[in-house]
A and B are shown apart, each in its own frame.
Chain A
């Protein structure tokens, strides 16, 4: 008789895989309604959040103290918030409805960082004017895919300096690591659902004339000129330089909610509304390398640690976050090791929406829960 245990792969025990988050360290309270998106700044000292109340707020990470806020919209929730990468400037991007806002929260910045940030945002103002008319793929279109403008004195006085209006409500913002390009996803935007914006030129481009399926998320490859787009059922990778499709991943999901690319670029995690977390190894197959089913409700967000720790996390409508060890080895002969480490619960579930978004500290094993609940977020 063979002991079935002996057939199982030998996994390290969670204790050997520290550090990983285990306790709630701080709670940010004050947002009214659901918080929909959170992001930690590149220095690891501020959290930006956006939520149902139309506000973007900035919090002190260590204490949960609210430092700054701005109301972007009376009607629309702030569905996406992301800090621009790079430490020389401090710029928050946020989306409410069809508008993407670029913000310099100067009240928490020193004069030189404020100036650097303003310079980054201002560089593109002349560009659109210097170009005759907007052409895409040689065809003159009636309306540019993105209209770059100043958002008006009320917002500008708060540091909201640039407004980019696209054709349909934006749900996802993801930056390229160099901080000049960012991608937005408007799931209901059909041919304009995925846009790539060039900050230095105040230019919005639509990379796909036709996209099969409804876009859910889009992300740049961390080091190569590749771009990933997730629709409800598939993930496609494109070569931006050659403008061609590279690969189609089939996670076997009914409805993808979010994806994240491993900092090494060769692995992708996928969260689905049908409660599954999938790990794709791009070198192995177009099918998932691992399927993890731990949540009772939809998974809303997935995120790799970006600062060198072998960790990833998901956030679910069941109100919990699951932390995993996910070690990627450079050796092609060896596959990633994935170990569930800890379930962090504590987010209250309201109207069946649990934890809406997550982010990792840029270096530490600290996770930002996001929250859900009326106005709290927790850092663990």
Chain B
């Protein structure tokens, strides 16, 4: 694309645009480029998108493009953009176009007996899956407040359901579940035990493989790293625990945490007649430092010896796992409830009780606490996942009853005292159970009550093959997918 910038430099003296092709390779005539450039100042996103379609795909059905100027979505005319950003028409602008995300349509929903708190996908594209998972053979894992984990096929049939653990009469209420491989997954919840299960595709059965004891309050989140068989768990007891998914690698379980440890509890457990005993083990390491319940934990994408965690104590902590030490603490203004990484941008996204998502650069060199704030949810943001097909997109789930899709380039400089930039969502996905569909921006949420009673979204997962999954208080996993372009 060398010649393009040459054309721009030579033919337009007042504004020099650099046109870089981000996601498509494009061939165009010089006069087409000049037309395009001349039109730019007057056009907004729609006009430019039409131009790009005419140039790139003249014989085909138009698809929407987003136009990026200096890395930010153009939401007005170019002239207005220049004014808003205090740019002179002498400035050099980086102009890019990228196919806009199409509205994610409701594809299906999987009905449960109770609230669904978390969902995970086993697919060719998922970390636990791989090429052995053929298209159409993807498996969906769901964790429910009824204490059970279920494995589903993509048609919405339950293939296997776990049996209730024998935990001395405690409420299990699962909060989280993750595939470790195509044969193993981990689940945890209110009874504070992290359980590894085996899933047998041939017999379609789930059997417990090990019970991991470290926490003495509910577990809110787990993270897994398949190559090293490591599991992390975040608990309301404020700690993060590190386990191995191989039973024998873990030390003995701390006795006072076992359901047989107290007379009253042991009696209750005996009454429930265990059919078989499941091995019990303890943690490889316990990470202490949060002052309030821990809400979410992830491995650092490029380095599984590092973990990040969020807590109601307003902080995001970076942990060095081999030494079990906290190496960095970022303090925000609000309780943090969810966490996802955008590795390409070196950013972590944290969901807050104050209804927004804050993007944090965890590197020591970062000077701002919050780089970008994404606003649009009407209640706590309790679930986050990155788009596996984009460096920039993010999926969130909120107690307001919606899932929302964000593009971190869809931002504007913040006004007032707030740090960094502010963005709004690209699409809002309401619950199909209350007749909601996907709407652009925050529109879909308009008719919902902020408290999301009955439809709180509790868990989300974005998978390249299966789509956008959201789980919630309406006892469903809802699958949405962008219409094929």
Contacts and interface: CB of A to CB of B under 8 A. Distances in A.
Interface of A: 19, 23-27, 29, 43-45, 62-65, 67-68, 106-115, 118, 363-364, 366, 378
B451 A107 contact: no
Interface string B241-284: 00000000000000011110110110000000000000000000
Contacts of B231: none
B451 A106 contact: no
B103 to A, nearest CB: 28
Contacts of B451: 23-27, 378
Nearest to B473: A63
B450 A24 contact: yes
B312 interface: yes
B216 A112 contact: yes
Contact of A363 (B257, B292, B379, B399): B292
B312 A364 contact: yes
A46 to B, nearest CB: 10
A111 B259 contact: yes
A43 B145 contact: no
Given A23-B378, A25-B451, A112 B261 contact: yes
Contact of B168 (A23, A62, A111, A118): A111
Given A25-B451, A29-B453, A63-B399, A118 B293 contact: no
Contact of B170 (A24, A63, A108): A108
B215 interface: yes
B353 interface: yes
Contact of B115 (A25, A65, A113, A364): A65
B376 interface: no
A19 B354 contact: yes
Interface in B101-141: 115
B453 A64 contact: yes
A178 B473 CA distance: 38
Nearest to A156: B264
A29 B115 CA distance: 15
B262 A67 contact: no
A128 B451 CA distance: 49
A118 B262 contact: yes
Contacts of A26: 399, 451, 453
Interface string B216-257: 111000000000000000001000000000000000000011
The 4 A-B residue pairs with the shortest CB-CB distance, nearest first, are A110-B216, A112-B256, A24-B451, A115-B262
A226 B190 CA distance: 39
A168 B102 CA distance: 67
A110 B171 contact: no
Nearest to B295: A62
Contacts of A44: 292-293, 312
13 contacts: A23-B451, A44-B292, A62-B337, A107-B170, A110-B170, A110-B215, A110-B216, A111-B261, A112-B261, A113-B217, A115-B265, A363-B292, A366-B353
Given A108-B171, A112-B256, A363-B292, A25 B379 contact: yes
B399 A115 contact: no
A111 B380 CA distance: 31
Pick from A68, A109, A113 the residue with the most CB of B within 10 Å.
A109
Nearest to B293: A45
B380 A25 contact: yes
B335 interface: yes
A313 B257 CA distance: 39
B442 to A, nearest CB: 15
Contact of A67 (B190, B353, B449): B190
A56 B80 CA distance: 59
A221 to B, nearest CB: 26
Contacts of A67: 171, 173, 190
Contact of B169 (A19, A107, A112, A378): A107
Given A23-B451, A26-B451, A106 B292 contact: no
Given A112-B257, A364-B353, A118 B264 contact: yes
A296 B272 CA distance: 55
B192 interface: yes
Given A23-B379, A62-B380, A113 B173 contact: no
B458 interface: yes
B292 A110 contact: no
B249 to A, nearest CB: 23
Nearest to A45: B236
B475 interface: no
A62 B171 contact: no
A337 to B, nearest CB: 21
B364 to A, nearest CB: 28
B382 interface: yes
Contacts of A45: 217-218, 236, 293
Contacts of B354: 19
Contacts of A106: 169-170, 264-265
Contacts of A364: 312, 335, 353
B195 interface: no
Interface in B158-175: 168-171, 173
Interface string B429-470: 000000000000000000001110100101000000000000
Contacts of B218: 45
A111 B265 contact: yes
Given A27-B451, A68-B171, 17 more contacts: A24-B449, A25-B353, A25-B380, A26-B451, A27-B453, A44-B312, A63-B458, A64-B453, A65-B145, A106-B169, A108-B190, A110-B192, A111-B261, A111-B262, A115-B256, A364-B312, A378-B451
A107 B259 CA distance: 11
Pick from A24, A44, A62 the residue with the most CB of B within 10 Å.
A62
Interface in B341-385: 353-354, 378-380, 382
A280 B393 CA distance: 53
B435 to A, nearest CB: 21
A27 B450 CA distance: 11
B232 to A, nearest CB: 19
A141 to B, nearest CB: 35
Nearest to B172: A107
B373 to A, nearest CB: 15
B337 to A, nearest CB: 8
A65 B115 CA distance: 9
Contacts of A366: 353
Contacts of A113: 216-217
A109 B261 CA distance: 13
Nearest to B260: A111
B450 A23 contact: yes
Contacts of B262: 111, 114-115, 118
Contacts of B216: 110, 112-113
A11 to B, nearest CB: 20
A364 B332 CA distance: 13
B190 to A, nearest CB: 6
A110 B192 CA distance: 7
Contacts of B458: 63
A43 B451 CA distance: 22
A112 B259 CA distance: 9
Contacts of B236: 43, 45
A27 B401 CA distance: 13
A108 B333 CA distance: 30
Contacts of B333: 19
A86 to B, nearest CB: 14
Pick from B218, B257, B264 the residue with the most CB of A within 10 Å.
B264
